[in-house]
């Protein structure tokens, strides 16, 4: 996704926190999402944030949104080996664009025991 | 019950053949999509249909023809397959945005030889 960018890799130790970052360019995005993709599987919606929010917490997941800098992050607390996967951020372009999602290139999270 | 189901899961075929991928959703969603994920894991929208009507066609070659017989089905037919068509194709559906937003199928891995 040329309009949504993420770093390619992140490696952490089990029990540490992981922070995955994403930048986007379309300020009219209404919703921003985080999806998880395990090997050979489809995309699983982890969490989302509405554009008028700064932060959302859902159990081990914390999403931070900085609209001014168009920066989105996903923090995973107490990272486990089962969290190893590719994480995609995505922005929704709204109803006039058919509600389609524009994805970042994905961040591959590796959790070492 | 699978919410968004795609068939087949794997498809291996020769260049020049014509093939179809089927998608069905039982969520009552109004909008369905096809996304393509390449070997580098980039995800890109191909088509979006709302209530059987095409609303997005993202510069996809004419060899790709989606068909939506009703709002619960969106099939993808591909003519004259080329090596570059090898990818994982994901079907998705949505009703609005947010947590009730996007549900993805498990993907169809197409390999053209």
Which residue in the block uniquely carries the two structure tokens 């926190």?
A: A17
Per DSSP, helices labelled H in chain A are none
- Which residue, among A5, A50, A7, has the nearest Cα to A29 in the 3D structure? A50
Residue B66 clears pLDDT 90, i.e. is over it:
yes
Count CB pairs under 8 A between chains A and B.
Answer: 65
Which two tokens mark B108? Answer: 């169809």
Mean per-residue pLDDT for B70-99? 90
Q: What is the pLDDT of residues A94-106, one digit of tens each?
A: 766 667 888 999 9
pLDDT of residue B99: 59
Which residues in chain B touch residue A41, judged by CB atoms under 8 angstroms apart? 106-107
Phi-psi region of A15 (alpha: psi -120 to 50; beta: other; left: phi over 0): left
Beta strand segments in A38-80, E? 43-50, 55-58, 61-66, 71-76
∠ CA B30-B42-B12 to the nearest 5 degrees? 85
3-state secondary structure B19-83: EEEEEEECCCCCEEEEEEECCCCCEEEEEEEECCEEEEECCCCCCEEEEEEECCEEEEEECCCCH
The pLDDT, as a whole number, for residue A95 is: 67
Contact A71, A22 (CB under 8 A): yes
Give the mean pLDDT of B49-70. 86
Contact A24/B at CB under 8 A: no
The predicted structure's pLDDT at residue A16: 97
Residue B95, classified by CB atoms within 10 Å of its CB into exposed (0-12), middle (13-18) or buried (19+), is middle
- Please identify every stretch of chain A with a pLDDT value under 50, giving residue numbers as ranges: 1
Residue B35 structure tokens: 């996304």
Q: Name chain A contacts of B106, Cβ cutoff 8 Å.
A: 41-42
Q: CA-based Rg of chain A, rounded to a whole angstrom?
A: 14
Res. B59: pLDDT tops 90: no
**Rounded to the nearest 5°, which phi and psi values hold at B102?**
-105, 130
DSSP state letter for A82: G
Yes or no, beta carbons of B56 and A97 under 8 Å apart? yes
- Interchain CB distance below 8 Å, B106 and A42: yes
Q: Output the pLDDT for position A101.
A: 86
Phi (first) and psi of residue A84, to 5 degrees? -60, 120
- Mean pLDDT across chain B, nearest whole number? 91
**pLDDT given for residue B16 in this prediction:** 97
Contacting A residues, span 93-112, partner chain B, CB-CB under 8 Å: 94, 97-103, 105-106
Check B33 against A42: CB less than 8 A apart.
no
């Amino acid at each position: 996704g040329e309009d949504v960018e993420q770093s390619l890799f992140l490696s952490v130790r089990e029990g540490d926190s992981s922070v995955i970052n994403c930048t986007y360019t379309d300020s009219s995005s209404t919703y921003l999402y985080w999806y998880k993709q395990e090997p050979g599987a489809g995309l699983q919606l982890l969490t989302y944030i509405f554009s008028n929010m700064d932060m959302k917490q859902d159990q081990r997941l914390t999403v931070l949104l900085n609209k001014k800098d168009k920066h989105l992050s996903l923090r995973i607390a107490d990272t486990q080996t089962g969290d190893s996967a590719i994480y995609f951020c995505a922005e929704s372009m709204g109803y006039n664009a058919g509600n389609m999602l524009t994805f970042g290139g994905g961040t591959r999270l590796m959790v070492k025991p | 019950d699978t919410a968004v189901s795609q068939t087949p899961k794997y498809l291996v075929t020769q260049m020049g053949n014509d093939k179809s991928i089927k998608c069905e959703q039982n969520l009552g969603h109004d909008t369905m999509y096809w996304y393509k994920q390449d070997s580098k894991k980039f995800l890109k929208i191909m088509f979006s249909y709302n209530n059987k009507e095409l609303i997005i066609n993202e510069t996809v070659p004419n060899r790709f023809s989606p068909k939506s017989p009703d709002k619960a089905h969106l099939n993808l037919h591909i003519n004259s397959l080329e090596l570059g068509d090898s990818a994982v194709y994901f079907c998705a559906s949505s009703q609005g945005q947010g947590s009730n937003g996007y549900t993805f199928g498990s993907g169809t891995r197409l390999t053209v030889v």
